[in-house]
Structure 1
């Protein structure tokens, strides 16, 4: 798989470090139950189809990018700088 870094252009996947889902997680309250904390720490959705993931361009410019991709077809649909998305939502 190849990813397009908004700064560096198209690069091999080996230059990037996968961080996980690019969605906000709702952290439980400090007094939450063990079951709620276990769910928060260990359980994530694993959908088939379109996902948004957070990747770090470790072997390149050091940018954090959000990759929209299809887990069924392995198509990369879009890459965006995470900082641009954060600024747009503020």
Structure 2
């Protein structure tokens, strides 16, 4: 699998480190919603958003939208952009 870094171009997956699912953090103070956010994650097959770091390159954090079944990459954007 290859990812296209917005700064470095297309690179091999070995240059990147998986950083977890790119989830939206709940608003407000501690509640059962936060407990679910921290402890109860689903692992659905299909399209997902994930954090990846280009550690062997520019060190940028990226949000990668990919299909977990086919590993097709649909989008790569810089995290926080």
Shorter-chain TM range is 0.7 to 0.9
Check 1:40–1:83 CA distance in 2 against 1; reply closer, same or farther (3 A cut).
closer
Output the aligned Cα RMSD. Answer: 1.9
Highest CA radius of gyration, 1 or 2? 1
Offset from partner CA, 1:37-89 (integer Å, 9 cap, x none): 4x4433211111110101111110011110000111110111011131xxxxx
Say how many residue pairs are matched. 80
- Structure 1: which 5+ residue stretches go unaligned? 85-90
Bigger helix fraction:
1
Moved over 2 A (4+): 25-30, 39-43
TM (norm. structure 1) is 0.75
Bigger strand fraction:
2
Tell me the SS of whatever aligns to 2:10. strand
TM (norm. structure 2) is 0.82
> In the alignment, is the contact (CA less than 8 A) between 1:3 and 1:76 conserved in 2?
yes
- Structure 2: which 5+ residue stretches go unaligned? none
